[in-house]
């Protein structure tokens, strides 16, 4: 059971959250301008590192806010997110 530090509610059980995967993958400003390869990249390709990873969670069972946080995908430790990455 991960204990996830919600920035609004504090540390809570993982079961209160939805996982959102890699953070910082913006919806393209103009999808029609992307070729099929770039669009497929947006749709399907996400980082999958063994190590620190900036990811998104939504605290669905409480404040329902999305936030980003760094988690180490091997040890499951959390740390505050690196600067400049948004959900």
* Residues at the interface with other proteins (CB under 8 A): 1-3, 13-15, 18-21, 26-28, 30-32, 34, 36-37, 39-50, 53, 55-56, 58, 60, 64-66, 71-77, 86-87
Residue with tokens 């509610």: 9
Closest approach, Cβ 7 to other proteins, in A, equals 13
Say how far apart CA 15 and CA 12 lie, in whole Å.
Answer: 8
DSSP percent split of the chain into helix, strand, coil, nearest 5: 15, 35, 50
Closest approach, Cβ 81 to other proteins, in A, equals 14
Say how far apart CA 8 and CA 63 lie, in whole Å.
Answer: 7
Closer CB to other proteins, 77 or 82, in the complex: 77
Closer CB to other proteins, 21 or 82, in the complex: 21
């Amino acid at each position: 059971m991960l204990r996830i530090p919600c920035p609004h509610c504090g540390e809570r059980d993982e079961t209160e959250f939805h996982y959102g995967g890699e953070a910082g993958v913006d919806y393209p400003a103009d999808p029609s301008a992307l070729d099929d390869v770039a669009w497929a990249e947006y749709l399907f390709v996400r980082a999958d590192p063994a190590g620190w990873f900036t990811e998104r969670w939504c605290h669905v069972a409480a404040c329902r806010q999305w936030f980003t946080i760094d988690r180490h995908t091997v040890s499951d430790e959390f740390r505050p997110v690196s600067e400049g990455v948004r959900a």
